A and B are shown apart, each in its own frame.
With several copies, the nearest count.
Chain A
Amino acid sequence: MAEAKLTPEQKLAMYHRMLLCRMFEERVYFLFLEGRLPGTIHQSQGQEASAVGICSALDAGDMITSTHRPHSHAIARGVSARSLMAELFAKETGCCRGKGGSMHVGDAGAGMLPAIAIVGGGLPLAAGYALAFRYLKQPNIVACFFGEGAANIGVFHEAVNMAAIWNLPVVFVCENNKYAASTAVEKVMRVKHVSERAAAYGIPGETVDGNDVEVVYQAMVKAGSRARAGDGPTLLELETYRFAGHSRSDPGHYRKPEEVAAWKERDPIARYEARLLAEKVLEPSEMTKIRASIELELETAIAQAEQDPSPKPEDCLTDVFAS
């Protein structure tokens, strides 16, 4: 399949989106350290190309599913920083009205189901949503994010197989960031690439550079077209790395500093910035403007979130059943 040609506007949009992901996470990190956010967080600095590359290849009506590490997925999908921030602040205005929290952010209206924090738990939901798309003759697909750690859990196997035999319009997107919490992938899996497991289900598997947003985008366009054409799922593996710890206050001593350093060399944002500058798609002056606009957006989101009303204690009792 020929590669989709990216316009300068699209490139800039991807750059902008990645930067928003990064700066959002950086702000959240400080807010968290300052004790202004409750709960726990799993951050995604370093994995922005994967989130943005995938989501940039989606249509408005498509859906994504996510994991315990969902912030960048949400931003890449277009869930507003405002409603995300409010959710992290546990406010009534949050995308889950304060009931979900960091690990369950999402907004079906924006094309993202609430994130599922039980590793692998989102895969059958994604397949089922894809089944509904096909059944209802909607031209849409589901992009299902999960980590390489999730590729060892039973429901991964069941969901990918079911999607495969039914040719469901879903793309299984494995963000292989080499670690599941402190556990290195090679300790828990004998194959080198998660994508090698695709063969077990008779579907295509592909591993690409997850830190190159255009590579990710092109791979998703390909897998997505396949899915839209009724040819079934693809197992797409994105090689990437998280710069931060696994969750709040993890210093990450199980990773060698050289390894972290080597991956920081491959920072998806810095790389893309350099490329866009070289391609003259991006001007240095524009860079500054983009950053400033993002900063403003985040400042506003934080300021609003802090002022927003908290849910009332008894609100805990509602939303259990639909009527």
Chain B
Amino acid sequence: MSSQASAVSNQEAQGREMTMVEALRAALREEMRRDDRVILLGEDIGVEGGFGGAFTVTLGLSEEFGHHRVLDTPISEAAIAGVAAGAALGGLRPVADVQYGDFLFLAMDQLANNAAKLRYMSGGKLSVPLVFRAPVGATTRGAQHGQSLEAFFMHVPGLKVACPSNPYDAKGLLKTAIRDENPVIFFEHKLLYGSKGARKEKGGLQVTGWVPDEEYLVPLGEAKIVRPGRDITLVANLLMVHKSMQAAETLAREGIEAEVVDVRTLTPFDWETVFQSVRKTTRLIIVEEDNLTGGWGAEVAARVADHCIGHLDAPVRRIAAPDTPVPFAPVMENFYVPSAEKIVAAVKELVGTHPQPWM
């Protein structure tokens, strides 16, 4: 899979194909060069001879910026989050990370009770400009290293949530997130990193995308229609954008044109783009890797059921992981993670030729 995501139309511009990891690293590097106040905190992110974090994103940054800006922490996720929040209050712009999103639960109190609420509790006098990066997604590491956690954070007022699906967006969103005055939880999908070399993920997509040399930002709160279509709307994020695109290609060969919307950020959420697409196609499937019950897709379905109900020609469906922990065995994991085939089947069910009996 390659640069479907090259959103910049001017193909004359200078740029190159990058992996997600390279794009994220470039974003960090550019922002650190631009603004002295940007610092990084995390486990194993700056050690000489080390990994550059769990997935190589920070490789080389301690060499360029020094250990006072790339801080290797103890295994102390709550303090990583709380120290980042304190440093943000004190005038810095920390970018902290957890090695696996699953560990966010350890930092949840600091993120949800402190970082998210301090502006509010201060009556609007303070702000907490921090970014917290977290890799998500099932990758045969079992139940404690494969969860998708976007919904938990979308539900916390005061936090912004980003979840890019490709290098172009990842770079542009991360730069914007770093400049944002608010705490941003930044989700990255392990199978999209596309890194080569030692830390390459088995089963990972070699997602590369064209990224311009010139600086650009992607705003938080703008979804992207990554494939236009008239018959049904597929709303997805992260890896599921790619599965939805695969499904759309298969469907197109059978004459069904799916419109694929990459939400890109969950907070703020670009409701208008989704609503307009649904009003046009009259059918909606939300695709997410998270467990079905209470996933972010539920919120999308709920808003559509409120704001677009008169335009719907079919039930609003969600394709998500079942309500189980992430299983280890690949054969089970493949069943757990939504597949392009499942999407295709669900679309065909909704885009029936018969008039809908339920309407």
* Binding between chains A and B: yes
A residues lining the B interface (CB < 8 Å): 38-40, 63, 90-91, 94-104, 106-109, 113-114, 116-121, 123-133, 135-136, 149-150, 152-155, 158-159, 161-162, 165-166, 180-184, 187-189, 249-255, 310-323
Which A residues lie within 8 Å of B198 (CB)? 249-251
Which A residues lie within 8 Å of B89 (CB)? 108, 113, 125, 128-129, 132
Q: Which residue of B lies closest to A319 (CB)?
A: B124
The 9 closest A-B pairs by CB, nearest first: A128-B86, A124-B82, A132-B90, A97-B123, A101-B328, A253-B49, A319-B124, A182-B50, A313-B335
Partner of A100, one of B88, B110, B122, B202: B122
Cα-based distance from A196 to B74 in the complex (angstroms)? 17
Which A residues lie within 8 Å of B71 (CB)? 166
Since A117-B145, A313-B334, A320-B325 are in contact, a sample of 7 more A-B pairs with Cβ atoms closer than 8 Å, ordered by chain A residue number, is: A99-B325, A128-B89, A132-B88, A161-B79, A183-B47, A313-B335, A318-B124
Contact segment of B9-17, B136-144, B207-215? B136-144
Beyond A108-B126, A118-B106, whether A128 also contacts B88 by CB under 8 A is yes
Q: Are A125 and B47 in contact (CB under 8 A)?
A: no
Q: Are A103 and B144 in contact (CB under 8 A)?
A: yes
Q: Are A118 and B103 in contact (CB under 8 A)?
A: yes
Partner of B144, one of A104, A109, A150: A104
Which A residues lie within 8 Å of B87 (CB)? 128-129, 131-132, 135
Cα-based distance from A180 to B75 in the complex (angstroms)? 8
Q: For residues 19 through 73 of chain B, which have their beta carbon under 8 Å from a beta carbon of chain A?
A: 37, 39, 43-44, 47-51, 68, 71-73
Beyond A104-B121, A182-B51, whether A161 also contacts B74 by CB under 8 A is yes
Cα-based distance from A158 to B75 in the complex (angstroms)? 9
Q: Are B75 and A126 in contact (CB under 8 A)?
A: no
Partner of A108, one of B88, B122, B144: B122
Q: Are B324 and A320 in contact (CB under 8 A)?
A: yes
Cα-based distance from A126 to B103 in the complex (angstroms)? 20
Cα-based distance from A103 to B144 in the complex (angstroms)? 9
Which B residues lie within 8 Å of A323 (CB)? 181
Cα-based distance from A114 to B140 in the complex (angstroms)? 17
Which B residues lie within 8 Å of A153 (CB)? 74-77, 106
Chain B nearest CB, measured from A39 CB (Å): 4
Q: Are B79 and A106 in contact (CB under 8 A)?
A: no
Partner of A181, one of B43, B90, B91, B94: B43
Partner of B328, one of A90, A127, A158, A187: A90
Q: Are A150 and B336 in contact (CB under 8 A)?
A: no
Chain B nearest CB, measured from A120 CB (Å): 7
B258 adjacent to chain A (CB < 8 Å):
no
Among B84, B141, B334, chain A packs the most CB atoms within 10 A around the CB of B141
Q: Are A123 and B328 in contact (CB under 8 A)?
A: no
What 1/0 mask marks residues of chain B from 127 to 164 whose CB sits below 8 Å from any chain A CB? 10100000000001111110000000000011010000
B250 adjacent to chain A (CB < 8 Å):
no
Q: Are B142 and A103 in contact (CB under 8 A)?
A: yes
Cα-based distance from A154 to B75 in the complex (angstroms)? 9
Beyond A97-B123, A116-B114, A131-B83, whether A322 also contacts B76 by CB under 8 A is no
Q: Are A98 and B123 in contact (CB under 8 A)?
A: yes
Q: Which residue of B lies closest to A251 (CB)?
A: B198
Beyond A101-B141, A103-B145, A116-B144, whether A162 also contacts B119 by CB under 8 A is no
Q: Are B47 and A39 in contact (CB under 8 A)?
A: no
